[in-house]
Amino acid sequence: MRVRAKVVAKGKVQSAGYRDEVEDVALYLGIKGFVRNMEEKDRVEIVCEADERIIDKFLKKIKIKNELIDVKKLTVKKTKPTGEFKTFKIIRKNKDSEIAERMDEAVKHLKGVKKGMYEVRDEVKGSREDIKGVRDEVKGSREDIQNMHKDMRKGQNCIKDSIQDMHKDLKSELKGFREESKQSFDSLNKNLTGFRDETKTEFQTIKTDYGKISQDLGKAVDSINTIAKSIEKLAEAIAKK
């Protein structure tokens, strides 16, 4: 359904290029009507006709907020269309006043741009100083890393020397232990050999002495047997008497 919409845009809308933006959107959507500045410096009037869905879409797109334009509020009144519009256009007061107004606004924008450029310059200067500081920090860090590398090399050399000294000491101690062990084993071997020889001699002595004792015992037994026989004979003689 086609409708007619009377819209009042309130905010930073005059001398900001807002009417040009509204015209572009209207022509894109096929809306017919006009846009013009109102007596109040913070208001723009829009009168347009189109299908209601297109009008609603148009209203969303013209509520603009950017660096130059800031639409605070849209007041909308919908009525029946009249079909009086053939296209969409900007209604201006007069050519001279529009030009002067645009020039004043352009000067104001240029001042803002100039101020922004100064701010950018200051930011660039600060960034350059920050970069210089970072560069100095990187340089210092690189020197610290180089010093750490030197210290690590010194530490590695010290560890290497310590390991070599430990190896020498261990080698010397092992050599001394081996020599002492050899002497101990040699002494033990000699002692065992002497003990074996002494034991062998003692056993031989015992064997010799045992043989002599055996002979003496044999003689003693013979003597005992002789005595026993003599006693038997003596007993028989006594019995006969």
Considering the domain 2-91 in this protein, what is its CATH number?
3.30.70.100
Asked if 35 and 45 count as a contact pair (C-beta separation under 8 A), the reply is yes
Share of the chain above pLDDT 90, in %: 37
| Confidence category of residue 41, pLDDT binned at 50, 70, 90 | very high
In this predicted structure, the answer to whether residue 147 has a pLDDT above a threshold of 90 is: no
Digit-coded pLDDT (tens) for 78-125: 999 999 999 999 999 876 666 756 664 665 567 567 567 778 788 877
Catalytic one of 2, 36, 37, 135: 37
Q: Does 94 participate in catalysis according to the annotation?
A: no
Q: What is the pLDDT of residue 112?
A: 66
Q: Which of 218, 124, 152 is nearest to 210 (CA)?
A: 218
Catalytic one of 19, 43, 66, 178: 19
| Confidence category of residue 231, pLDDT binned at 50, 70, 90 | confident
Q: Does 142 participate in catalysis according to the annotation?
A: no
Please indicate, yes or no, whether the overall pTM of this predicted structure exceeds 0.85: no
Between 118 and 153, where is the model more confident? Answer: 153
Between 80 and 225, where is the model more confident? Answer: 80
Share of the chain above pLDDT 70, in %: 76
Mean pLDDT of 201-223: 69
